[in-house]
Amino acid sequence: MLRAARERLVAGGIAPDEAAVDVELYARTILGWDAARLLTERAASTPPALEPCFSQWVARRAEREPSAYIVGHREFWGLDYLVSPSVLIPRPESELIVEEALARLGNAEAPRLADIGTGSGCLGLSIAHDLPGARVVATDISREALTVARTNAVRLGVADRVAFLQTSYLDGVASPPFDAIVANPPYVKDTDKPAISRQVIGYEPHVALFGGNDGLRGVRGVLDAGRDRLRPGGWLVFEFGLGQDDEIRELVGSYPMYRVENIKEDIQGIPRTAVVQRTIAP
């Protein structure tokens, strides 16, 4: 049954290795098994509990629906996040944002953090999970996304330290200046839509993907928000797109109150995450 499902996905254009991961994920999720049990039971007869859900999930994947939406969750920073089509699927490269923010907030006793465009909450909630004294304001323009993020905050045990607000960037947020602001703003150029894969363009929320003609509209919004709401010496840590690193340095340099401390590369060596400090004096 698993072999037939893999073959169906490969015939639909999904890479063999990815198809193998997908069908095993579906089987384990439906049956509540771990990878070891699935391996030891491979020669056994098909458990009746697999159907009809397994075939339905395979059919959805054959249409290129992302597996995270099919099973309803995705691991990020070693934590399990619920996801839905209302939120961007957390990606491993975005863990750089959490890593860099924690490196700069780790010595703070009760840091104040803003998570702009929180989506599933994976950035702000992961930081709150690792920093028990942290207080987080998480914003998003999508009511549905905030519902997902609130649920994740409860599941991770950090809901009492996170305030969720439906707003654009930090508009209307009443808070003392933040020690850090994190964001994964939309940064794909509108003109690049035809090149985006079907499983992304067809399922993930466009508001979280596309950043205008130059792809930098969301980054400008984050920089503008930090100009007014970040304490002197505080940090902006945000993601940007492939090949945008020079533009990011130039854009940040146009704000007199900021300096680029570092541009971090992801595991593939692609510049991915900007670490920006608000200087003491504008």
pLDDT at 109: 84
Q: What burial letters (b/e) apply to 57-71, b meaning 16+ CB within 10 Å? A: bbebbbebbbbbbbb
pLDDT at 269: 94
- Please report the pLDDT score of residue 224 as a whole number: 96
Mean pLDDT of the chain: 95
Contact 54, 4 (CB under 8 A): no
By residue count, the chain amounts to 282
What pTM was estimated for this model as a whole?
0.94
Output the pLDDT for position 43: 86
State both tokens at 56: 């339905």
Strand partners, 113: 136, 180
Write down the H helix ranges in the chain. Answer: 2-11, 16-31, 35-40, 53-62, 67-71, 95-105, 122-130, 143-156, 198-201, 217-229, 245-253
Q: Give CA angle at 151 (104, 199), nearest 5°.
A: 85
Q: Any idea which architecture 85-278 has in CATH?
A: 3-Layer(aba) Sandwich (3.40)
Lowest mean pLDDT among 157-171, 230-244, 267-281: 267-281
Render pLDDT for 153-164 as a digit per residue (tens, 0 to 9). 999 999 999 999
Q: What does the pLDDT look like over 105-159, one tens digit per residue?
A: 988 889 999 999 999 999 999 999 999 999 999 999 999 999 999 999 999 999 9
Residue pair 251/277 in contact (Cβ under 8 Å)? The answer is no
Does pLDDT of 166 surpass 90? Answer: yes
Q: How does pLDDT run across 170-228, given as a tens digit for each residue?
A: 999 988 899 999 999 999 999 999 999 999 999 999 999 999 999 999 999 999 999 98
Q: Taking the domains of the chain in order of start, what are their residue ranges?
A: 2-63, 85-278
Return the axis-axis angle of helices 2-11 and 53-62, rounded to nearest 10°.
20
Q: What's residue 218's pLDDT?
A: 96
**What is the tens place of the pLDDT at every residue in 31-77?**
999 999 999 998 888 999 999 999 999 999 999 999 999 999 999 99
The pLDDT of residue 282 is 52
Peptide bond into 52 cis (omega under 30): yes
